[in-house]
Structure formats: structure tokens, C-alpha cells
Amino acid sequence: MRIIRNTTPFGDGFRMPAEYEPHEGCIMIFPERADSWQYGGYAARKAFVQVAEAIGESERVTVCAGAAQYDNARAMLPAHIRVVEMSGNDAWARDYAPTFVKNDTGVIRGIDWGFNAWGGLYDGLYFPWDKDNQMARKLCDLLEKDVYDRRDFILEGGSIHVDGEGTCMVTESCLLSRGRNPELSKQEIEEILRNYLNVSVILWLPWGIYNDETNGHVDNICAFTAPGEVVLAWTEDKEDTQYAMSKACLDYLEQAVDARGRRLRIHKLPLPKPVTVTKEECGGLDACGDQPARVPGERLAASYVNYYIANKSVVMPGFGDPADREAREILQKLFPDRKIVQIYTRDILIGGGNIHCITQQIPL
Ligand code: KQY
């Protein structure tokens, strides 16, 4: 593996493909952290295995497991899923596995962004995060990809979406948060995104999902389903704090123009009714530092937008809510050539994210 420090993907003719372009595979990390996952991850592991199996039907899945969980991961996952022992601090592959870029001859390289647990000592979610921060480089070594070193710039994979045709979508609440790159202006952040993702237009949605502890990752509120088309997490309940947040995003998107000069087709994807964590669930979580990891009644950032587009399927969350079916039907219409697989993911949601947050595609 070569560590590239003096050039950029843009300068070298590499771009980040959209998630709906073909994949070589997918990276996941086995959960075990006891202040993220109830009872040390017992239930979350079962949900992660279902996600890995669903994705594994149409692409090669690599699951990284810590030493303590290696045997269990190997036993729980089918033989065609690769399991490698790799230390980490938690299980959010989207956020600290590499972002992959590709050139016209099909060469793939990784980008190693800096990771500080969603806000470092300012408003980050745990400490330390050093092993997470090493993962991108370890994975590029394992997968035999050269890697761009951009560890000086804090960015999580869940905070960016691209359409593969020159447009990137982010949220202001996340990328301009004080815990990430406070020394950089919005223009300077745009410049880095342009040079590393090879995009020409950055769409800045104002907000993510209410109470999303990532400062509002874009991958929970809005996603491209095709060039020029997005789904937006939506509620009709004007009393819900989320309404104003989704409406502000809608207003922004309605006037936006993408890199090809298109107005966007915006599909509203309903949200489930507010999902809150129970006293029993909180009882299964270790404290995070000297604070409870979650408190009973706390609202979780549940959203159907947090799906993964695999080669032949879309693997989406379910919450046991009446909106599960409507959301599934909307995605099926938007992805007519892919099977929609809905997995009940409450045990992933309790950790603070969902299917998109625990997966990272490797383009083909
Ligand atoms: O990408 C994500 N949604 C990660 C959330 C991290 C939560 C840590 N408890």
C-alpha cells in the first residue's frame, strides 16, 4: 500500500462513485462495545449478521472483528463472508472505513480522513478513538489499495453522499460543527470535498434528523436514489421538531441545481413515529465515561433513509411501525431492479445509527 500525500484524487483523475454504481464488496465491523450496544452487543450482533447476509447475496462482505469476538463472528457468519481480526473502538464502518475513489481504468484507491468520534473532546461520543482512526489505513492495506492521507481533516463517511456525476450532499449542522474542523471556513471545506471526491457542486442541507448524535449526518435525512433524484426523510406532523428540520431541507432542495444543471426530483420518505429508548434497554448499556449512555425516553434518530444499496438489493431498516410498509414500497418503486430487504434494526438504532452507518461499499 502506498500512502499518497502530495496529490489529490481530483488531480489524479479519481472520483467517488455513487453507491448505486457496481460494488466489489462491502466492509462491516462486528459490534461489541458495551456502552453502545445492549448487553455487550448480543442482540446487535444478530442484526448485524442479518445485514451482512443480505448484502452478501450480491457482493463480497468483509467483517472486521476484534480479538474477543473473532471466534464468535466466524461462527455466526456464513463461510462466504470474510472475517478478519482487526481492533477498533466501535462498529461504524461508514464513518471510518476508507471512502473509495476510482479512475477511468478501474483503479480503486482509499481516502483516510481524520476521525475523532463525531466531535472529539468538544462534543464527541467516546474517548479514545485511536483504533477507529487506524482502520481506513489497515483496510487499504488488506484490500491492496493505495490510500490518500487526509487525516488532518475530520470527516465521517456518513456525512457525505455523492451522485457520481459531480454532486455531493452534506449538512451544515455536521460539517460546520465546532468539534470537527473549526479552523476551516465553509469555502475551505468545499475545496477539500471538491479535490478529494472530485465533485463540482456541494449541496448544503441545513439539518439532519432530530437528536442524531452525529450532529446530523446527511445519510440519515437524505440520499441520492439516482442522478438527479433524492429521498428526503419526512413527517407530516407539524408539532414534531423534525417537521421544521425536514421542511428546511425540502425548501433548500427545491431550489438546488446539481452539477449537471438539473433540478432535483425529491421523493418524501415517511419517518416512523418517534422511537424512544426504554428503561429496560438503558439497563443493558454500560455507562459512557461517568455518564449514562442513554436515558429512558430519549428519542432515537430512526429513519428509513439509512439504507444500503447493494449490487442486487436495497437493505433497509424496519422499526415495527405502520410506515415500514409504505417506506418499503416507495423504495421498491425507486429501485425497480433491486430486491428490497427490510430488517428490523431496533438493536442497531439503539447504538446510534442504522444500516448505512454500519456498512461501507468498495466500488468495482
Ligand atoms: O454514523 C453513525 N450514525 C454513528 C453514530 C455513533 C453513535 C455512537 N454511540
User: What's the pLDDT tens digit per position in 162-204?
Assistant: 999 999 999 999 999 999 999 999 999 999 999 999 999 999 9
As a whole-number percent, the residues of the chain with pLDDT over 70 amount to 100
Query: In angstroms, how far apart are the furthest CA atoms of the chain?
Result: 54
Of 348, 357, 347, 346, whose CA–CA distance to 305 is shortest?
Answer: 357
Nearest CA to ligand 1 atom 3: 353
Mutate to test the pocket of ligand 1, among 33, 35, 95, 173 (most ligand atoms within 8 A of CB): 95
| pLDDT of 292 | 94
Query: Is 357 close to ligand 1, i.e. is its CB under 6 Å away?
Result: yes
C-alpha cell at position 11: 488531480
- For β-strands 161-162 and 167-171, DSSP reports them as antiparallel
CB atoms within 10 A of CB 62: 22
User: What's the pLDDT tens digit per position in 290-324?
Assistant: 899 999 999 999 999 999 999 999 999 999 999 99
Of 362, 342, 351, 337, whose CA–CA distance to 284 is shortest?
Answer: 351
Q: Are 14 and 198 in contact (CB under 8 A)?
A: yes
Q: pTM, whole model, 2 decimals?
A: 0.98
274: amino acid identity, one letter:
P
Distance of CA 98 to the CA centre of its chain: 12
Nearest CA to ligand 1 atom 4: 353
Average pLDDT over the chain, rounded to an integer: 98
Q: Taking the chain, what is the end-to-end CA distance rounded to the nearest angstrom?
A: 18
| Backbone region of residue 71 per phi and psi (left: phi > 0; alpha: psi in -120 to 50; beta: other values) | alpha
